């Protein structure tokens, strides 16, 4: 009898935990869904004609039309491929250079000033040069996205390495950890939170840079849908492409956070 009584609160806590896992993501939908419902009602009761900013029902119909012809899928896959390829190259380069710049004062003074100067160059300024070097095909687009991803990752890794607490390194030395053990048990956990944030920031810039990249004469991609909608006077198509960018950006950011969660379980932080 006592065991049954003790199990009941535990089962209630488990069910509450499962409910909370579903309720927290749903809470983030309240604002966009509320704004969409408000705008739909405003158009239907005549507060706006909805010509320049179409209501959600028109945008949904546009999604359906694009999906039925296969355009939505092909343009989405093209953009996803460019972002994924640019993200991989940008993360690899940013991680390597960030680790080198944070490794010692000499390497930091050697390469950081140059990279900081390059970081200040607007992304659009690289476009003519990349077209001359790599043409207007996929290579120039992917490299432009990689440039956007590179700098947040570089800064995050370099800052994380430079900010590693000297005391925990001394503890590792006191326990006579090998170089590999020092990296695995001390350095990696110390830099991982900042590294994950830099990955998410780099991915966000990657989604911004892909739009500039797809302005380089692309015939596929969500950026092409934006330009096509502008040239043909289709505001619903423009807004649909913007919504698609937002959904894909949030979904990929969530995937990074989900993949990084097992590596951050050691953190003792306040639950929110």
Model confidence pLDDT, tens digit, residues 256-265: 988 888 777 7
Please check whether residue 105 lies inside any domain of the structure: yes
Whether 155 contacts 208, CB under 8 Å: no
Q: Roughly how many angstroms between the first and final C-alpha of the chain, as a whole number?
A: 36
Range of the domain at 229: 56-264
pLDDT in tens, 146-180: 999 999 999 998 988 888 777 776 777 776 666 66
pLDDT at 3: 47
Q: How far is CA 117 from CA 98, 103, 120, 133, in A?
A: 15, 20, 5, 21
Instruction: Give mean pLDDT, residues 218-237.
Output: 86
Question: Count of CB atoms within 10 A of residue 72's CB?
Answer: 20
Please check whether residue 62 lies inside any domain of the structure: yes
Please check whether residue 124 lies inside any domain of the structure: yes
Whether 209 contacts 151, CB under 8 Å: no
Backbone region of residue 46 per phi and psi (left: phi > 0; alpha: psi in -120 to 50; beta: other values)? left
pLDDT in tens, 46-94: 887 878 888 888 899 989 999 999 888 999 999 999 999 999 999 999 9
State pTM to two decimals.
0.82
Please check whether residue 152 lies inside any domain of the structure: yes
Q: How far is CA 238 from CA 18, 114, 235, 245, 255, in A?
A: 38, 38, 5, 11, 26
Please check whether residue 22 lies inside any domain of the structure: no
The domain total for the chain is 1
CATH number of the domain to which 214 belongs: 1.10.3720.10
Please check whether residue 167 lies inside any domain of the structure: yes
Whether 100 contacts 157, CB under 8 Å: no
Query: Does pLDDT of 1 surpass 50?
Result: no
Q: How far is CA 248 from CA 206, 222, 241, in A?
A: 12, 11, 11
Q: Which of 117, 213, 194 is nearest to 153 (CA)?
A: 194
Please check whether residue 194 lies inside any domain of the structure: yes
For residues 33 and 267, the model is more confident at 33
Q: How far is CA 96 from CA 9, 86, 145, in A?
A: 50, 16, 17
Please check whether residue 173 lies inside any domain of the structure: yes
What mean pLDDT value characterizes the chain?
82
| Residue 50 DSSP SS3 | coil
């Amino acid at each position: 009898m006592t065991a049954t009584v003790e199990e009941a609160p535990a089962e209630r806590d488990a069910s509450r935990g499962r409910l909370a896992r579903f309720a927290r993501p749903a809470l983030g939908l309240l604002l966009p869904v509320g704004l969409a419902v408000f705008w739909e009602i405003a158009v239907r009761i005549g507060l706006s004609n909805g010509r320049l900013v179409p209501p959600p029902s028109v945008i949904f119909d546009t999604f359906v039309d694009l999906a039925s012809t296969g355009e939505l899928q092909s343009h989405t896959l093209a953009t996803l491929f460019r972002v994924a390829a640019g993200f991989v190259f940008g993360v690899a380069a940013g991680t390597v250079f960030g680790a080198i710049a944070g490794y010692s004062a000499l390497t930091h003074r050697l390469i950081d000033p140059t990279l900081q100067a390059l970081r200040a160059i607007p992304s659009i300024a690289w476009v003519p040069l990349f077209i001359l070097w790599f043409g207007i095909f996929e290579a120039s687009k992917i490299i432009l996205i990689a440039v956007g991803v590179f700098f947040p990752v570089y800064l995050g890794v370099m800052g994380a390495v430079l900010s590693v607490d000297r005391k925990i390194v001394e503890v590792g030395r006191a326990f006579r950890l090998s170089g590999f053990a020092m990296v695995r048990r001390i350095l990696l956990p110390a830099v991982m939170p900042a590294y994950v944030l830099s990955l998410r920031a780099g991915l966000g810039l990657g989604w911004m840079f892909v739009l500039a990249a797809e302005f380089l004469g692309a015939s596929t991609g969500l950026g092409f849908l934006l330009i096509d909608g502008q040239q043909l006077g289709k505001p619903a198509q423009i807004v649909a492409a913007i919504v698609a960018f937002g959904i894909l950006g949030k979904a990929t950011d969530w995937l990074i956070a989900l993949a990084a969660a097992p590596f951050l379980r050691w953190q003792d932080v306040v639950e929110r």
